[in-house]
Amino acid sequence: MRIGNQQLNGAAALAPMAGVTDRAFRALCLEFGASWVTSEMVSAKGLTMHDRKSGFLMTLGQAEHPAAVQIFGCDPETMALAAKQAAETGCFAVDLNMGCPAPKVAGHGGGAALLKDPDLAARITEACAKAIDLPVTCKIRIGWDEASVNAVDLARKLESAGAAALTVHGRTRRQMYAPPVDRAAIRAVKEAVSIPVIGNGDITDCASAAQMLAETGCDHLMVGRGALGAPWIFAQLNEFFASGAVLPPPPVETRMEIMLRHISALCEDKGDYVGMREARKHAAWYVKGMRGAASLRQEIGALESLDQLRAVAEKVIAAANQ
Protein backbone atom coordinates (compact mmCIF):
# COMPACT_ATOMS: atom_id res chain seq x y z
CA MET A 1 0.00 0.00 0.00
CA ARG A 2 1.05 3.60 -0.59
CA ILE A 3 0.18 6.67 1.43
CA GLY A 4 1.35 9.74 -0.40
CA ASN A 5 4.80 8.99 -1.80
CA GLN A 6 5.58 6.35 0.82
CA GLN A 7 5.55 2.70 -0.21
CA LEU A 8 4.51 0.65 2.82
CA ASN A 9 5.55 -2.99 2.84
CA GLY A 10 4.08 -5.61 5.13
CA ALA A 11 0.68 -6.81 6.24
CA ALA A 12 0.07 -4.55 9.23
CA ALA A 13 1.09 -1.33 10.94
CA LEU A 14 1.60 -0.72 14.64
CA ALA A 15 -1.19 1.34 16.20
CA PRO A 16 -0.32 4.36 18.34
CA MET A 17 -0.81 3.53 22.03
CA ALA A 18 -0.16 6.04 24.80
CA GLY A 19 2.43 4.81 27.25
CA VAL A 20 3.38 1.88 25.00
CA THR A 21 4.52 2.79 21.50
CA ASP A 22 7.66 4.65 22.48
CA ARG A 23 10.87 4.58 20.46
CA ALA A 24 12.10 1.27 21.89
CA PHE A 25 8.88 -0.59 21.11
CA ARG A 26 8.40 1.02 17.71
CA ALA A 27 11.92 0.04 16.62
CA LEU A 28 11.32 -3.53 17.76
CA CYS A 29 8.05 -3.80 15.84
CA LEU A 30 9.69 -2.44 12.68
CA GLU A 31 12.42 -5.05 13.09
CA PHE A 32 9.74 -7.74 13.08
CA GLY A 33 8.16 -6.40 9.92
CA ALA A 34 5.58 -3.78 10.84
CA SER A 35 4.70 -1.84 7.69
CA TRP A 36 4.94 1.40 9.64
CA VAL A 37 4.74 2.67 13.20
CA THR A 38 3.11 5.70 14.78
CA SER A 39 4.25 7.70 17.78
CA GLU A 40 2.33 7.95 20.99
CA MET A 41 -0.24 10.73 20.66
CA VAL A 42 1.29 14.15 21.18
CA SER A 43 -0.60 17.19 22.44
CA ALA A 44 -0.82 19.90 19.78
CA LYS A 45 -1.16 22.50 22.50
CA GLY A 46 1.92 21.11 24.22
CA LEU A 47 3.94 21.29 21.02
CA THR A 48 2.98 24.87 20.29
CA MET A 49 3.92 25.81 23.87
CA HIS A 50 7.28 24.02 23.44
CA ASP A 51 6.49 21.52 26.18
CA ARG A 52 9.53 19.31 26.72
CA LYS A 53 7.56 16.08 27.18
CA SER A 54 5.59 16.64 23.99
CA GLY A 55 8.78 17.19 22.04
CA PHE A 56 10.28 14.01 23.49
CA LEU A 57 7.22 11.94 22.55
CA MET A 58 7.42 13.23 18.98
CA THR A 59 11.12 12.46 18.45
CA LEU A 60 11.86 9.60 16.06
CA GLY A 61 14.92 7.35 16.19
CA GLN A 62 17.42 7.26 13.31
CA ALA A 63 16.39 3.76 12.19
CA GLU A 64 12.73 4.34 12.89
CA HIS A 65 11.22 4.52 9.44
CA PRO A 66 8.66 4.53 8.04
CA ALA A 67 6.98 6.29 10.95
CA ALA A 68 4.09 8.68 11.42
CA VAL A 69 3.62 11.20 14.22
CA GLN A 70 0.19 11.44 15.81
CA ILE A 71 -1.11 14.69 17.28
CA PHE A 72 -4.32 15.49 19.13
CA GLY A 73 -6.29 18.63 19.90
CA CYS A 74 -9.49 20.44 18.97
CA ASP A 75 -8.41 23.82 17.57
CA PRO A 76 -7.68 23.90 13.80
CA GLU A 77 -5.03 26.62 14.04
CA THR A 78 -3.18 24.96 16.91
CA MET A 79 -3.34 21.57 15.19
CA ALA A 80 -1.95 23.07 11.97
CA LEU A 81 0.97 24.62 13.85
CA ALA A 82 1.63 21.30 15.58
CA ALA A 83 1.44 19.46 12.26
CA LYS A 84 4.22 21.72 10.93
CA GLN A 85 6.42 20.78 13.88
CA ALA A 86 5.60 17.09 13.48
CA ALA A 87 6.47 17.25 9.79
CA GLU A 88 10.01 18.29 10.69
CA THR A 89 10.75 15.01 12.50
CA GLY A 90 11.37 12.98 9.35
CA CYS A 91 8.01 11.22 9.55
CA PHE A 92 6.24 10.22 6.34
CA ALA A 93 2.78 11.32 7.56
CA VAL A 94 1.05 13.22 10.34
CA ASP A 95 -1.86 11.35 11.91
CA LEU A 96 -4.74 13.12 13.64
CA ASN A 97 -6.19 11.41 16.69
CA MET A 98 -9.98 11.42 16.48
CA GLY A 99 -10.64 8.27 18.45
CA CYS A 100 -8.91 8.32 21.84
CA PRO A 101 -11.60 7.53 24.43
CA ALA A 102 -9.61 8.63 27.48
CA PRO A 103 -11.48 11.25 29.55
CA LYS A 104 -8.37 13.45 29.85
CA VAL A 105 -8.34 13.76 26.03
CA ALA A 106 -11.98 13.45 24.97
CA GLY A 107 -13.10 15.46 27.99
CA HIS A 108 -11.23 18.48 26.62
CA GLY A 109 -12.60 18.28 23.10
CA GLY A 110 -9.87 16.20 21.50
CA GLY A 111 -9.66 12.55 20.46
CA ALA A 112 -13.03 10.81 20.34
CA ALA A 113 -14.87 14.04 21.20
CA LEU A 114 -14.38 15.05 17.55
CA LEU A 115 -16.69 12.20 16.56
CA LYS A 116 -19.53 14.37 17.86
CA ASP A 117 -18.55 17.27 15.60
CA PRO A 118 -17.64 16.00 12.11
CA ASP A 119 -17.51 19.54 10.73
CA LEU A 120 -14.86 20.56 13.27
CA ALA A 121 -12.96 17.36 12.56
CA ALA A 122 -13.01 18.25 8.87
CA ARG A 123 -11.81 21.82 9.53
CA ILE A 124 -8.92 20.46 11.57
CA THR A 125 -8.01 18.02 8.81
CA GLU A 126 -8.17 20.73 6.16
CA ALA A 127 -6.04 23.11 8.22
CA CYS A 128 -3.36 20.46 8.75
CA ALA A 129 -3.42 19.28 5.12
CA LYS A 130 -2.89 22.85 3.92
CA ALA A 131 -0.12 23.49 6.44
CA ILE A 132 2.23 20.67 5.43
CA ASP A 133 3.40 18.86 2.31
CA LEU A 134 3.18 15.42 3.93
CA PRO A 135 0.07 13.21 3.91
CA VAL A 136 -2.40 13.85 6.73
CA THR A 137 -4.19 10.75 7.98
CA CYS A 138 -6.93 10.37 10.57
CA LYS A 139 -7.62 7.64 13.13
CA ILE A 140 -11.29 7.44 14.06
CA ARG A 141 -13.83 5.29 15.83
CA ILE A 142 -17.25 4.45 14.38
CA GLY A 143 -19.09 6.96 16.57
CA TRP A 144 -19.46 8.41 20.04
CA ASP A 145 -22.01 5.83 21.17
CA GLU A 146 -24.35 3.24 19.72
CA ALA A 147 -27.03 5.87 19.09
CA SER A 148 -24.66 8.05 17.04
CA VAL A 149 -22.65 5.77 14.76
CA ASN A 150 -21.57 8.29 12.12
CA ALA A 151 -18.31 6.92 10.75
CA VAL A 152 -19.47 7.01 7.12
CA ASP A 153 -20.50 10.67 7.27
CA LEU A 154 -17.32 11.58 9.13
CA ALA A 155 -15.13 9.63 6.71
CA ARG A 156 -16.61 11.40 3.70
CA LYS A 157 -16.04 14.79 5.29
CA LEU A 158 -12.44 13.92 6.20
CA GLU A 159 -11.72 12.71 2.67
CA SER A 160 -13.13 15.93 1.22
CA ALA A 161 -11.03 17.92 3.69
CA GLY A 162 -7.82 16.35 2.43
CA ALA A 163 -7.21 13.21 4.49
CA ALA A 164 -4.90 10.82 2.64
CA ALA A 165 -5.99 7.70 4.54
CA LEU A 166 -8.27 6.68 7.41
CA THR A 167 -7.75 4.15 10.18
CA VAL A 168 -11.04 2.94 11.63
CA HIS A 169 -11.26 1.30 15.05
CA GLY A 170 -14.53 -0.59 14.91
CA ARG A 171 -15.98 0.48 18.24
CA THR A 172 -17.67 3.57 19.62
CA ARG A 173 -16.09 5.75 22.25
CA ARG A 174 -18.59 4.46 24.80
CA GLN A 175 -17.62 0.86 24.07
CA MET A 176 -13.94 1.59 24.80
CA TYR A 177 -12.31 -1.81 24.05
CA ALA A 178 -15.30 -4.17 24.33
CA PRO A 179 -17.54 -5.76 22.96
CA PRO A 180 -16.07 -7.33 19.79
CA VAL A 181 -15.16 -4.94 16.98
CA ASP A 182 -17.88 -4.03 14.46
CA ARG A 183 -16.39 -5.05 11.11
CA ALA A 184 -19.54 -4.18 9.19
CA ALA A 185 -19.10 -0.55 10.23
CA ILE A 186 -15.54 -0.58 8.93
CA ARG A 187 -16.76 -2.05 5.64
CA ALA A 188 -19.32 0.74 5.34
CA VAL A 189 -16.51 3.30 5.60
CA LYS A 190 -14.40 1.43 3.04
CA GLU A 191 -17.30 1.45 0.59
CA ALA A 192 -17.99 5.16 1.16
CA VAL A 193 -14.56 6.64 0.38
CA SER A 194 -11.85 6.24 -2.25
CA ILE A 195 -8.80 6.82 -0.01
CA PRO A 196 -7.12 3.87 1.77
CA VAL A 197 -8.95 2.53 4.81
CA ILE A 198 -7.01 0.66 7.50
CA GLY A 199 -8.92 -1.76 9.74
CA ASN A 200 -8.15 -1.72 13.46
CA GLY A 201 -9.45 -3.62 16.46
CA ASP A 202 -9.24 -7.20 17.78
CA ILE A 203 -6.41 -8.25 15.45
CA THR A 204 -4.49 -10.68 17.64
CA ASP A 205 -3.40 -13.44 15.27
CA CYS A 206 -3.48 -14.60 11.65
CA ALA A 207 -7.10 -15.78 11.82
CA SER A 208 -8.44 -12.48 13.15
CA ALA A 209 -6.33 -10.56 10.63
CA ALA A 210 -7.75 -12.60 7.75
CA GLN A 211 -11.26 -12.09 9.13
CA MET A 212 -10.77 -8.33 9.26
CA LEU A 213 -9.68 -8.22 5.63
CA ALA A 214 -12.39 -10.57 4.43
CA GLU A 215 -15.27 -8.91 6.25
CA THR A 216 -14.29 -5.27 5.71
CA GLY A 217 -12.47 -5.18 2.37
CA CYS A 218 -10.04 -2.75 4.03
CA ASP A 219 -6.77 -1.87 2.35
CA HIS A 220 -4.48 -2.61 5.26
CA LEU A 221 -4.40 -3.66 8.91
CA MET A 222 -3.31 -1.94 12.10
CA VAL A 223 -2.43 -3.95 15.21
CA GLY A 224 -2.63 -2.47 18.69
CA ARG A 225 -3.08 -4.60 21.80
CA GLY A 226 -2.28 -7.75 19.82
CA ALA A 227 1.36 -6.64 19.73
CA LEU A 228 1.71 -6.17 23.50
CA GLY A 229 4.35 -8.60 24.68
CA ALA A 230 4.33 -10.09 21.17
CA PRO A 231 6.08 -7.81 18.64
CA TRP A 232 6.70 -10.90 16.49
CA ILE A 233 3.03 -10.80 15.46
CA PHE A 234 4.10 -8.67 12.48
CA ALA A 235 6.45 -11.40 11.22
CA GLN A 236 3.66 -13.95 11.69
CA LEU A 237 1.18 -11.84 9.70
CA ASN A 238 3.69 -11.17 6.92
CA GLU A 239 4.42 -14.86 6.52
CA PHE A 240 0.75 -15.82 6.66
CA PHE A 241 -0.28 -13.42 3.91
CA ALA A 242 2.77 -14.34 1.82
CA SER A 243 2.58 -18.13 2.05
CA GLY A 244 -0.44 -19.13 4.13
CA ALA A 245 1.81 -20.58 6.83
CA VAL A 246 0.96 -19.90 10.47
CA LEU A 247 4.21 -19.46 12.35
CA PRO A 248 4.18 -20.43 16.03
CA PRO A 249 5.30 -17.92 18.64
CA PRO A 250 9.05 -17.96 19.29
CA PRO A 251 10.36 -20.43 21.89
CA VAL A 252 10.25 -19.20 25.48
CA GLU A 253 14.00 -18.62 25.52
CA THR A 254 13.76 -16.41 22.45
CA ARG A 255 10.78 -14.52 23.83
CA MET A 256 12.71 -13.74 27.00
CA GLU A 257 15.70 -12.59 24.94
CA ILE A 258 13.41 -10.24 23.00
CA MET A 259 11.93 -8.92 26.24
CA LEU A 260 15.37 -8.20 27.69
CA ARG A 261 16.50 -6.48 24.50
CA HIS A 262 13.33 -4.39 24.47
CA ILE A 263 13.68 -3.27 28.07
CA SER A 264 17.40 -2.59 27.68
CA ALA A 265 16.60 -0.22 24.82
CA LEU A 266 13.82 1.34 26.87
CA CYS A 267 16.20 2.03 29.77
CA GLU A 268 18.84 3.40 27.43
CA ASP A 269 16.30 5.85 26.03
CA LYS A 270 14.60 6.91 29.26
CA GLY A 271 17.01 6.02 32.02
CA ASP A 272 16.84 3.10 34.43
CA TYR A 273 14.44 4.70 36.91
CA VAL A 274 11.68 5.44 34.39
CA GLY A 275 12.55 2.53 32.12
CA MET A 276 12.26 -0.14 34.78
CA ARG A 277 8.96 1.18 36.05
CA GLU A 278 7.59 1.08 32.53
CA ALA A 279 9.17 -2.36 32.12
CA ARG A 280 6.78 -3.80 34.68
CA LYS A 281 3.76 -3.72 32.36
CA HIS A 282 5.79 -4.93 29.38
CA ALA A 283 7.23 -7.85 31.37
CA ALA A 284 3.73 -8.84 32.49
CA TRP A 285 2.62 -8.88 28.83
CA TYR A 286 5.64 -10.91 27.71
CA VAL A 287 5.11 -13.67 30.28
CA LYS A 288 1.31 -13.76 30.13
CA GLY A 289 0.06 -17.30 29.75
CA MET A 290 3.44 -18.86 30.37
CA ARG A 291 3.96 -21.56 32.93
CA GLY A 292 4.85 -20.09 36.31
CA ALA A 293 3.95 -16.53 35.27
CA ALA A 294 1.25 -16.10 37.92
CA SER A 295 3.72 -16.77 40.73
CA LEU A 296 6.00 -14.04 39.37
CA ARG A 297 3.33 -11.32 39.32
CA GLN A 298 4.49 -9.68 42.56
CA GLU A 299 8.14 -9.84 41.51
CA ILE A 300 7.36 -8.27 38.13
CA GLY A 301 5.34 -5.52 39.81
CA ALA A 302 8.38 -4.48 41.85
CA LEU A 303 11.08 -4.56 39.15
CA GLU A 304 13.78 -1.94 39.61
CA SER A 305 16.77 -3.24 37.64
CA LEU A 306 17.70 -5.19 34.54
CA ASP A 307 19.34 -7.79 36.78
CA GLN A 308 15.99 -8.41 38.46
CA LEU A 309 14.35 -8.71 35.04
CA ARG A 310 17.01 -11.22 33.96
CA ALA A 311 16.22 -13.27 37.08
CA VAL A 312 12.53 -13.26 36.14
CA ALA A 313 13.41 -14.39 32.62
CA GLU A 314 15.52 -17.25 33.98
CA LYS A 315 12.64 -18.41 36.19
CA VAL A 316 10.21 -18.33 33.27
CA ILE A 317 12.59 -20.37 31.13
CA ALA A 318 13.21 -22.86 33.94
CA ALA A 319 9.46 -23.31 34.50
CA ALA A 320 8.88 -23.86 30.79
CA ASN A 321 11.55 -26.57 30.68
CA GLN A 322 10.24 -28.53 33.65
Which residues are marked as active site? 100
A 10 A CB-CB count for 166 gives: 26
What's the sign of the alpha-carbon dihedral 169, 172, 173, 179?
negative
